[in-house]
Amino acid sequence: MSRERASRRLPVIVTLLVGLMLTIMPLPESAEAFRPDWLALVAIFWAMQLPRTWSVGTAWIIGVVLDVSHGTLLGQHALALCVIVFITVRFHLLMRVFPLLQLSATVFALLALYQFLLFWINGVAGVNAPAATYWGPVITGTLIWPFLYMFLSGVRYRAPAGG
């Protein structure tokens, strides 16, 4: 890989690693249920901005890493991330022209779908969890999205051109 291609990929890789660190960082028990799905939010952003470079394959890899780090069923987060990233890639041209409020509502729907898929897989596997662990990340992720979107947009436009 050339130096130029590596420098174009570096911001995406760094933001994905920071998202993984924020996802596995320990929190107090009372705040754990409201931890945003950082990796899902970052994956949605990069799939929307650079759909040909960072899409379903990347979602699968970071989902498997997330499954291993959490010790959950292997492929659980990978499947859920692949589904929401596929939908994002499919509608990325439409989503990129949405106003920020409408984009936040779309991200709410994507995060709700992500949590529903995790809920469904846990239900099939017989794993019980309180409802706050499913709805808390959706609400906090939606509230954080506008700030994360503006921050990552700044990162993207300061980085060298390309994906």
Q: What percent of the chain has pLDDT over 90?
A: 72
Residue 163 is assigned to a structural domain of this protein: no
User: Tens digit of pLDDT for each residue in 95-135?
Assistant: 999 999 999 999 999 999 999 999 999 889 888 888 778 89
**Higher-confidence residue: 113 or 163?**
113
**Higher-confidence residue: 81 or 122?**
81
Residue 120 is assigned to a structural domain of this protein: yes
In whole numbers, what is the pLDDT of the chain averaged over residues? 91
- Note the helical H segments in 25-127: 29-32, 38-49, 56-70, 76-90, 92-95, 100-125
- The structure's pTM equals 0.91
Tokens representing residue 85 in the block: 């990233």
Residue 90 is assigned to a structural domain of this protein: yes
The number of distinct structural domains making up the chain is 1
Domain that holds residue 63: 3-158
